[in-house]
Amino acid sequence: MTPPFVILVVEDEPLVSMALADDLESEGFVVIEAANAAAAVQILESRTDIRIVITDVDMPGTMDGLMLAAAVFARWPPIRIIVVSGHRSVVITDIPDGSVFYSKPYRSAEIIKTMSEMLG
């Protein structure tokens, strides 16, 4: 049996983060939550088991979700990236190769399907 995959959800809206985390956990994923990109980078620097980062674009702090996606792609190439936004339109050239974008509101089932494809 495959051990559960670890997913990092980076979302500054607590209710959105909790809802997605609950949906992912019910599918057997282990979820770690971060409220901003700086916290996400600290988590990524301290763990080697994260397989996917799901990040919102608009977040407080000096690094938004697009900058975080670029940093993850550069520093941790094996980690797959899903970018979401309810306020900004993102084109494929704004995100790293192999990443996927979803507009909010998204359906968790779509995210989970994409994650399954990313994880093979």
pTM of the model: 0.95
Residue numbers of the domain that contains 79: 6-119
Evaluate whether 66 touches 48 at the Cβ level (below 8 Å): no
Res. 9: pLDDT tops 80: yes
The structural domain count of the chain equals: 1
- Give the list of residues 6+ apart from residue 10 with CB closer than 8 angstroms, or none: 33, 34, 35, 36, 37, 39, 40, 53, 54, 55, 56, 59, 65, 68
Phi, psi dihedral angles at 88 (to 5 degrees): -120, 145
13 inside domain: yes
Exposure b/e, 88-102, CB count within 10 A at least 16 = b: bebeeeebbeebbbb
Evaluate whether 43 touches 72 at the Cβ level (below 8 Å): no
77 inside domain: yes
CATH of residue 32's domain is 3.40.50.2300
pLDDT in tens, 58-115: 999 999 999 999 999 999 999 999 999 998 888 889 999 999 999 999 999 999 999 9
How many Cα atoms are found within 13 Å in the side-chain-facing hemisphere of 83? 28
1 inside domain: no
